Amino acid sequence: MIDVIAIVGPTASGKTALSIELAKRLDGEIINGDSMQVYRSMSIGTAKIEPDEMQGVPHHLLDIKNPEESFSVAEYQQLVRGKISEIRSRGKLPIIVGGSGLYVQAVLFDYRFAEEPFDEKLRGELHAELERFGPAHMHRKLLELDPESQIHPNNTRRVLRAIEIARSGQPKGERTMALSPMYNELIIGLDISRDVLYERINARVDDMLARGLLEEVNALRSRGIRDVQSIQAIGYKEIYAYLDGKLPLEEAVTQLKQNSRKYAKRQFTYFKNKLPIFWIDALQDLEKNIRQIQEVMQENDRDRRIEYFERKITD
């Protein structure tokens, strides 16, 4: 029997509609799998589900943090594992839904986080790499390890510390991670052509603006919220730049769309390299996707299920 389902995919790929229908069919409850949707007062820019869209399906770990507060992968891991136990104790099926691959990976697999002190040799190597290649190179390195990181590229100290944490918490090779599941999980990935996805992303940004993204960001700014983890999220940092007079609105929107597309590409890369996923076509009929998922759930042997259904998505 499947212990937990995760539905992953890039932004704007259709995770919400699929998750709601699946939860209704399977008597499930949904757990937020997006690192930014934990924040209150940040709904439009994070594409957070609206209460009237939930169709009576319970949702967990939305709006649990103030924008000024930090939120780590380790904290998420602890919270979600607790929610999984709670939901299963009621005889319901936990369904994690979101695009934050590292967060999902940390929950479903034996992903451990190093404590202080960190490896001094690693720390020295990173500082030497910083001196040789510069801050921009180190920030790109961090995004390869943690695509969801919201640390500003200019905050070199935090960038280096985050790399240390990611490197120290990484299992010894991807194979070790893949062979150390915490649950009998099924990870469903939404595959979608890049052209269609990028059109959806551009349209979503336009819709966010029409729904009041500028007003949402300005409200945060008026509260004096800046230079914190949440405001580095895509959709907020670009609008902050506009409101601070650093960019014209047109350029800020262009950057928002471009950064969203780049993030989607990083999400795909992470999913296909780090997680054992059963991929379905996001553009095909919803009923067909539901039937495919129900069929794969009949295979109770995890290794056979993954071996049979896993396939690589194409760039």
Q: Which residues are annotated as a binding site?
A: 9-16
Instruction: Say whether 152 sits in a helix, a strand or coil.
Output: coil
- The contacts of residue 248 (CB under 8 Å, 6+ apart) are 242
| Residue list for the binding site for ATP | 9-16
Look up residue 39 and give its two tokens.
């924040």
- The contacts of residue 149 (CB under 8 Å, 6+ apart) are 142, 143, 162
Classify residue 21 by burial, with Cβ atoms within 10 Å: 0-12, 13-18, 19+. Answer: middle
How far is the C-alpha of 290 from the C-alpha of 14, rounded, in Å? 13
How far is the C-alpha of 190 from the C-alpha of 98, rounded, in Å? 11
| Residue list for the binding site for substrate | 11-16
In degrees and rounded to multiples of 5, residue 31 shows phi and psi of -110, 130
